[in-house]
Amino acid sequence: MNTIGIIAEFNPFHNGHLHLIETSKKALSADRCIVIMSGDFVQRGAPAVVDKFTRTKMALNCGADVVIELPVYYALASAEFFARGAVSILDKLGCVDYLCFGSECCDLDFLTDAARILNDEPDSFRDVLGKGLKMGKSFASAREKALLSCLKKEPSKDAFENADETASYSILSEPNNILAVEYIRALLDRNSMIKPYTIKRQGEGYHSGEISEFSSASAIRSGILNNNSLALKHSLPEVCFSLLNDYEGSFADTNRLSPLLNYKLLSEKTDGFSKYLDVTEDISNKIVAALESFERFDEFCKTLKSKDLTYSRISRVLCHILLNITASGMDDYRSDGFTAYARILGMKKASSDIVKTMRESSKIPVIGNLKEATSADLTSLQNRLLDETLSASRIYWKIYRDTNLNEYKSFMLI
């Protein structure tokens, strides 16, 4: 049995995701697809537009066989830790043959070379990086220049849609390329037997607002939040469109978090915020200095945004503060080889064979209904990571579904 793994947010599930699953399954003659999916908060630093169980239903109706929740510490992390946390789960399951992902550059050899350089950091890389930083370049810009100076080959002519002499310069600028490189880095670092496989990302650009068959996720979310979901009908599989139309909660935007965030910032401003993940002393001071102007989550992000601080980085930082995601917590999980457990959000009844295989081959606890967690022999770190993820979902569900969520009383979707 060939099994593919996919790491995703499905925020929400759209035609591009369907294309990835169907194309990968066909190309690799795969029987089963295991998805590691972000829960109720996602990597750009925001609540998911619809809750994790609705998105699980979308995935299971569109080619996924099992959906496993990515814990909140990794789901809300930078690309590196997002990838490493998710890959740690797939790798420890012991039954995944391929990790499949889309990329703007679909030259796997080129992406792998980039990943090796970033993992090994040869002297030539360090030299160019150091010179760039001394010249005042941002770390991201200096790192990309250092990487390009070390790459010994150009991407294939078909790697980029508009391949030309500058094509390689988007290797660490395009969001799907960034994640692709981080996935491969994580596989290499773990000496994993899982093989990477990439297809070309389809459709509109990542930040495009155009509506088409392959709209960007951001354009789809914008349509949903602006009550223009009817225009999205051709951008989504029919079942996903129906689930959105029948959704009983509030479509989630960050501004509903504003009162809670404002209270958290005001109550902790004296001590500052540098204990939280991704919050430097400078960012903490910047938050404290701007706090009097706080009105809404999104406006506060714009206030703090600068040349070296992207909107997404700030939004992640604010979510880390709100949800008590600390730097020391991530240090603990990273030192543990990226703490993992496999909490199944949902599965197809016809795919029970892969769940049986997972339970037999996994090096980490596989949890179906959460009542199993009490007898699953979780380590203290696994328990802590699970509790933090459940707490984040309780906040999400109270605000956006107007209910007190107790996942120990609910059952995984079948």
Confirm whether 190 is domain-assigned: no
pLDDT at 167 over 60: no
Dig out the tokens for 143 from the structure: 């790192």
The least confident of 53-62, 84-93, 190-199, 375-384 is 375-384
Q: Say if residue 245 is in the same domain as residue 352.
A: yes
User: CB atoms < 10 A from the CB of 165, how many?
Assistant: 7
For residue 98, which phi and psi values (nearest 5 degrees)?
Answer: -135, 145
Structural domain harbouring 276: 254-330
Q: Say if residue 60 is in the same domain as residue 97.
A: yes
What is each CA distance from 411 to 12, 315, 344, 347, in whole angstroms? 22, 32, 10, 11
pLDDT (0 to 100) of residue 157: 54
Confirm whether 385 is domain-assigned: yes
pLDDT (0 to 100) of residue 84: 98
Q: Which residues pair with 100 in a beta bridge?
A: 6, 197
What is each CA distance from 48 to 39, 54, 328, in whole angstroms? 8, 11, 25
Q: Say if residue 248 is in the same domain as residue 345.
A: yes
Q: Which residues pair with 34 in a beta bridge?
A: 5, 66
pLDDT at 54 over 90: yes
- Strand segments, DSSP code E, in 205-363 are 342-347
Cα–Cα dist 156/311, whole Å: 33
Cα–Cα dist 211/198, whole Å: 25
Cα–Cα nearest to 282, from 256, 255, 306, 261: 306
Confirm whether 290 is domain-assigned: yes
Q: What SS3 class is residue 103? A: strand
The least confident of 39-48, 50-59, 86-95, 229-238 is 229-238
Q: Which residues pair with 8 in a beta bridge?
A: 37
Domain C-terminal end among 330, 355, 390: 330
Written as one letter, the residue type at 268 is E
Written as one letter, the residue type at 65 is D
Residue 260: enclosing H or E segment and its boundaries?
helix 258-268
Q: Which residues contact 180 (CB under 8 A, 6 or more apart)?
A: 101, 102, 103, 105, 111, 196, 198
Q: Say if residue 18 is in the same domain as residue 86.
A: yes
Q: Say if residue 248 is in the same domain as residue 342.
A: yes
- 404: domain CATH number? 3.40.50.620
- Banded pLDDT at 374 (limits 50, 70, 90): confident
User: CB atoms < 10 A from the CB of 380, how many?
Assistant: 9
- Strand segments, DSSP code E, in 230-351 are 342-347
pLDDT (0 to 100) of residue 308: 82
C-alpha angle with apex 275: 75 to 264, nearest 5 degrees? Answer: 80
Dig out the tokens for 6 from the structure: 């996919």
Q: Say if residue 155 is in the same domain as residue 127.
A: yes
Domain C-terminal end among 330, 346, 373: 330
Q: Say if residue 240 is in the same domain as residue 92.
A: yes
Cα–Cα dist 87/91, whole Å: 6
Segment 284-299 mean pLDDT: 97
Rg of the Cα atoms in the chain: 21
Total count of domains within the chain = 3
Confirm whether 394 is domain-assigned: yes
Confirm whether 179 is domain-assigned: no
Q: Say if residue 39 is in the same domain as residue 7.
A: yes
Confirm whether 184 is domain-assigned: no
Q: Say if residue 242 is in the same domain as residue 155.
A: no
Q: Say if residue 265 is in the same domain as residue 322.
A: yes
Residue range 296-343, pLDDT digits in tens: 999 999 999 998 889 999 999 999 999 999 999 999 999 999 999 999
Q: Say if residue 325 is in the same domain as residue 215.
A: no
What is each CA distance from 32 to 52, 127, 218, 265, in whole angstroms? 21, 45, 28, 45
Asked whether 45 and 333 are in contact (CB, 8 A), the reply is no
Task: Decide which of 228 and 203 is more confident.
Answer: 228
For residue 51, which phi and psi values (nearest 5 degrees)?
Answer: -65, 165
Beta strand 66-70 with 342-347 is: antiparallel
Asked whether 115 and 185 are in contact (CB, 8 A), the reply is yes
Asked whether 112 and 196 are in contact (CB, 8 A), the reply is yes
Confirm whether 324 is domain-assigned: yes
Q: Which conformational region is residue 29 in: left (phi greater than 0), alpha (psi within -120 to 50 degrees), or beta?
A: left
Q: What SS3 class is residue 230? A: helix
pLDDT (0 to 100) of residue 202: 72
Q: Say if residue 241 is in the same domain as residue 361.
A: yes
On average, the pLDDT of the chain sits at 91
For residue 200, which phi and psi values (nearest 5 degrees)?
Answer: -75, 130
Cα–Cα dist 147/200, whole Å: 22
Residue range 76-135, pLDDT digits in tens: 999 999 999 999 999 999 999 999 999 988 899 999 999 999 999 999 999 999 999 999
pLDDT (0 to 100) of residue 164: 39
Q: Which residues contact 304 (CB under 8 A, 6 or more apart)?
A: 283, 286, 287, 290, 314
pLDDT (0 to 100) of residue 172: 76
Confirm whether 215 is domain-assigned: yes
Asked whether 218 and 206 are in contact (CB, 8 A), the reply is yes
Asked whether 412 and 344 are in contact (CB, 8 A), the reply is yes
pLDDT (0 to 100) of residue 166: 42
Domain C-terminal end among 157, 173, 189: 173
